[in-house]
A and B are shown apart, each in its own frame.
Chain A
């Protein structure tokens, strides 16, 4: 870990405040490590979890048997909850949209995306997973 000058100053000030005139090597060590630990936690980046765990899955391509089965079994394996599903077929093309809740999944969105990309490649279709917020902000006022 690199410490900036500003941080060193902060550590010094803390040490002076704690120690006053009773300094000895043991106490100095203790105070410095306490301050450094606090520094690390205060500069750590907050974890971003969106309010809703909803993700929109869009899939399209040439229709053939086994597409829904392929996609849903991958979702089942990753413990994604399908909240809604809708499908349209126009001549030989199909389009399917699902609303998923991934809060109960042990996998991250990225891992689920990777898994579904593999499934999509096997099925020769396109699958996109995008967080619901995108659609909400674009289409709802």
Chain B
């Protein structure tokens, strides 16, 4: 036989038992040609363009799912950071744009559309300011629109003014969506060194150097890696690294194949494979479980950062061998609410924000889906964002903060969003006070790391 019995069964086991799926196929659409002096015409152009390219997105993805027997969990759309094409709009007009994006997303049958974004690491245009001002309203008045703002980069430094604005935006968004557990904040990401081709919503957008339309794919598969590590048994760390690499190689290859096929059906270019281990709240689909299978008693134990660094690096190595189009975030995600093992570690008191911060120095993204008390001060949120940005800009990596100050709740309680967003226990934050530091405003200059020429 052309294929070994075991090879075929291994694939079936991955898809049927170990939660292997393609996490997302994300259609990136440029909206750079959609501006018009008349806001109504602008809205019409946005709506028509998203429908033109996106109307068959879900259908094509489902056809590819059936063809290969691997499920694609999310079908989504990202757009040009809205502040760029629509720079001339005022805050209330931006909210109108958000509403038309929401309508278009509903029409094509997707759950989230991302790119209500601005890139302000070095400074603001008028449109950037207006868009940021509009975020709490846009997120409160729409269901499907996701927003992100890049406030720092290795080349530009850290824009503390932007961080202070975003801290206030996070608080306002939490208040405006208080009836739904401050869910607006789950759709809002603050970035350092944001990748322009990331397919993972909420932080996705269609970067300004991207083509007219492109298809990016994000793989998943913590469950597969977990089972492989478990099956490897008591081996040393080099052998364990090999197991992680081999497993990631296979899931990346499947991801690229499926992404290319969806792109082919659309008749558009294929962009990148984001080689990330993205957990879901499903039992057995957890990064925390992998770290425990590697030998930690719980996430947060000494050794956690080392284990995560090793996992993350070998995921990348396996992925790089498998695909010539690796991009996006590419690393292990450690959202708290979306990972049963992480939730458990927080509830057991083993995992605190400071440990998570250390973990973000060695894996992709950052403080992700972390619920904090609703009465947290704006300057403390700003301090936390600044810390994450510092890790990102010094290490030349992406970091982000997606934090939910859950209105009216405090430590010991939790908020349950259901579905992929999961359940977030409220974590305690040291509200010691950094208001004078963050309140200075201005910009932390770019690090020496930025001068590579």
Chain A residues in contact with chain B, CB under 8 A? Answer: 2, 4-5, 45-46, 48, 56, 58, 84, 86, 88, 95, 97, 99, 109-110, 113, 126, 128-131, 133-135, 137-139
Assuming A56-B3, A139-B250, is B267 touching A45 (CB within 8 A)? yes
Asked if B1 is at the interface (CB within 8 A of a chain A CB), the reply is yes
Are B264's CB and A48's CB within 8 A? yes
Partner of B5, one of A88, A109, A126, A137: A88
Partner of B56, one of A45, A134, A138: A45
Asked if B69 is at the interface (CB within 8 A of a chain A CB), the reply is yes
Asked if B261 is at the interface (CB within 8 A of a chain A CB), the reply is yes
The interface centre, meaning the residue of A58, A130, A134 with most chain B CB atoms within 10 A of its CB, is A134
Assuming A4-B52, A128-B12, A139-B7, is B267 touching A134 (CB within 8 A)? no
Are B8's CB and A97's CB within 8 A? yes
What distance in Å separates the Cβ of A67 from its nearest Cβ neighbour in chain B?
17
The residues in B between 35 and 93 inclusive whose CB is less than 8 angstroms from any CB of A are 45, 48-49, 52, 56, 63, 66-70
Asked if B453 is at the interface (CB within 8 A of a chain A CB), the reply is no
Partner of A99, one of B2, B10, B254: B2
Are A134's CB and B254's CB within 8 A? yes
What distance in Å separates the Cβ of B273 from its nearest Cβ neighbour in chain A?
12
Asked if B257 is at the interface (CB within 8 A of a chain A CB), the reply is yes
Q: Report chain B residues within 8 Å CB of A128.
A: 12, 16, 69
Q: Report chain B residues within 8 Å CB of A95.
A: 5, 9
Assuming A2-B48, A133-B68, is B257 touching A97 (CB within 8 A)? no
Partner of B66, one of A84, A86, A109: A109
Assuming A45-B266, A58-B12, is B3 touching A137 (CB within 8 A)? no
The interface centre, meaning the residue of A5, A126, A138 with most chain B CB atoms within 10 A of its CB, is A138
Q: Report chain B residues within 8 Å CB of A84.
A: 1-2
Q: Report chain B residues within 8 Å CB of A131.
A: 67-68
Main secondary structure of the interface of B (DSSP, over half): helix
Are A86's CB and B267's CB within 8 A? no
Closest to B63 in A: A110
What distance in Å separates the Cβ of B170 from its nearest Cβ neighbour in chain A?
38
Q: Report chain A residues within 8 Å CB of B68.
A: 130-131, 133-134
Q: Report chain A residues within 8 Å CB of B70.
A: 130, 134
Asked if B256 is at the interface (CB within 8 A of a chain A CB), the reply is yes
- Assuming A131-B68, A139-B250, what are 9 further A-B pairs, CB within 8 angstroms? A4-B49, A45-B267, A56-B8, A86-B5, A97-B9, A99-B2, A109-B67, A133-B68, A134-B11
Q: Report chain A residues within 8 Å CB of B355.
A: none
Closest to A3 in B: B48
Asked if B103 is at the interface (CB within 8 A of a chain A CB), the reply is no
Q: Report chain A residues within 8 Å CB of B1.
A: 84, 86, 97, 99
A-B contact list, 23 entries, CB within 8 Å: A2-B48, A4-B48, A4-B49, A4-B52, A5-B45, A45-B265, A56-B3, A56-B8, A58-B12, A84-B1, A95-B9, A97-B3, A109-B67, A110-B63, A113-B66, A126-B16, A128-B16, A130-B68, A130-B69, A134-B70, A135-B8, A139-B10, A139-B11
Chain B residues in contact with chain A, CB under 8 A? Answer: 1-5, 7-12, 16, 45, 48-49, 52, 56, 63, 66-70, 250-251, 253-254, 256-257, 261, 264-267
Q: In whole angstroms, how far apart are the Cα atoms of A13 and B251 in the complex?
A: 48
Partner of A138, one of B2, B11, B52, B264: B11
What distance in Å separates the Cβ of B111 from its nearest Cβ neighbour in chain A?
23
Are A48's CB and B5's CB within 8 A? no
The 7 closest A-B pairs by CB, nearest first: A130-B69, A137-B253, A134-B68, A139-B7, A137-B257, A138-B250, A131-B67
Q: Report chain A residues within 8 Å CB of B67.
A: 109, 130-131
What distance in Å separates the Cβ of A115 from its nearest Cβ neighbour in chain B?
13
The interface centre, meaning the residue of A46, A84, A128, A135 with most chain B CB atoms within 10 A of its CB, is A135
What distance in Å separates the Cβ of B323 from its nearest Cβ neighbour in chain A?
10
Q: Report chain B residues within 8 Å CB of A110.
A: 63, 66
What distance in Å separates the Cβ of A82 from its nearest Cβ neighbour in chain B?
12
Q: In whole angstroms, how far apart are the Cα atoms of A1 and B132 in the complex?
A: 37
Q: Report chain A residues within 8 Å CB of B69.
A: 128-130, 134
